[in-house]
Chains A and B, each alone.
Chain A
Amino acid sequence: MGLIFVALLAGIVMGYLHLLPDRVFQLTGKLTTAGVMLLLFLMGGQMGSDEEILAGLGEMGVQAVLLALAAIIGSVLAVKGLEVVVPFKPLEEERGREV
C-alpha cells in the first residue's frame, strides 16, 4: 500500500514544481480517466472470473443501495447538525465581516 502514497505524493510534488512539460501536464486528465478505466476493467475481470461473487451480486446490490443511502442521509444530517453548532454563512459575507 505504501507505493500508492508514494505515487500520490510524487504526483503532487511534480505538479506543484511544474517538473513536467506543459504538453505532458495537459494530458493528466486523460491519464486519470485511462487509469480508472484500466483499474475497473481489471477489477471486473477479477470479479467476473470469481463465480461466488457473481452468485452473490443480486442480493449484494440491494444491500449496496441501502448502505449508500444510509451514508448519504447520515452525512447530510451531520452537516445540518454542524450548522446548528457552528453557524456557516455564505463565504462572501464571512470575508466581508472579517475585513
Chain B
Amino acid sequence: MIVLILLSLVIGILAGYAGLLPAGVQANFDFLINCALCLLLWGIGLEIGGNRQLLRQVGAMGFRIILLPLVVAGGSIAGTLLVGSLLGMPPGDSAALGAGFGWYSLSGVLLAKLHSVELGALAFLTNVSREALSIILIPVVARYAGRYAAVAPGGATTMDVTLPLIVKFVGPDMALVAFFHGLVLSALVPVLVPLLV
C-alpha cells in the first residue's frame, strides 16, 4: 500500500519535472487536487459510516478513550514546536506541521493551499516520515513504553495504515481504541492545521 502510494508521488514528480503532464493538467492542479480530495474523503466517510458496530462500541467506552487522541495531539504539536524553534521556524508553521499527525496527503494539500507550496511540501515530507518511522517504531514503543503509548506514534494513521501493526504488536483488543484514536486525530487535522498556521 505505502509502496504504491509513494510510487504515485515519485511518478508524479518525475512527470512534472520532465514536463510530461498536459498543459490542461498543469494549469488546473488546484482544481484537480480538490476533486481527488473530495473523492477520497467521500470514500473514507463511507468506510466510517458503514461500520455500525464500530460506532456503537466506541460510544460504550466512555470518556477515557477520547483522552488518548487529545494528549497525542498535544504531544505531537509540542514536539514539532520545540524542534521547529531549534530550526528557526515560526511557531505557527511548526505547530501546523505537527498537527498533520501523519496524514501527509491532507496536511500537505492544506498547507500548500493556505500558506505556501514550500510549507505544503515540508508538511508532506514530515508526515510521510512520521508514517514511515511509526511503522519502524511501533514494535519498539509497544515493548518498552506499553500498549497505550504504542498507539501514539501512528497519529491519524492508526485507523488505516498502522492499525494492522498495532493489532499485531500490542493485541487485537487495542484495535478499536487505535481506530478511534486515528479517527479523532484525522478529524482534527482539517480543523487544527488552518487554525495553527
Number of interface residues of A (CB under 8 A): 74
Interface size classification for chain B: 35 or more
What DSSP secondary structure best describes chain B's contact surface?
A: helix
* B188 CB within 8 Å of chain A: no
Known contacts A13-B49, A60-B121, A77-B75; decide if A7 and B130 are in contact (CB<8 Å): no
Once the chains bind, are A83 and B148 in contact (CB under 8 Å)? Answer: yes
Are A36 and B105 within 8 A (Cβ)? yes
> Given A54-B17, A63-B122, A68-B130, are A45 and B29 neighbors across the interface (CB < 8 Å)?
yes
Find out whether the CB atom of B16 lies under 8 angstroms from the CB atom of A15: no
Write the nearest CB–CB distance from A98 to chain B, whole angstroms. Answer: 9
Interface residues of B (CB under 8 A from A): 1, 4-6, 8-19, 21, 25-26, 29, 32-34, 36-52, 55, 61, 64, 67-68, 71-80, 82-84, 87, 94, 97-98, 101, 105, 108-110, 112-113, 117-118, 121-122, 124-130, 133-134, 137, 141, 145-149, 151-153, 155, 173, 177, 190, 194
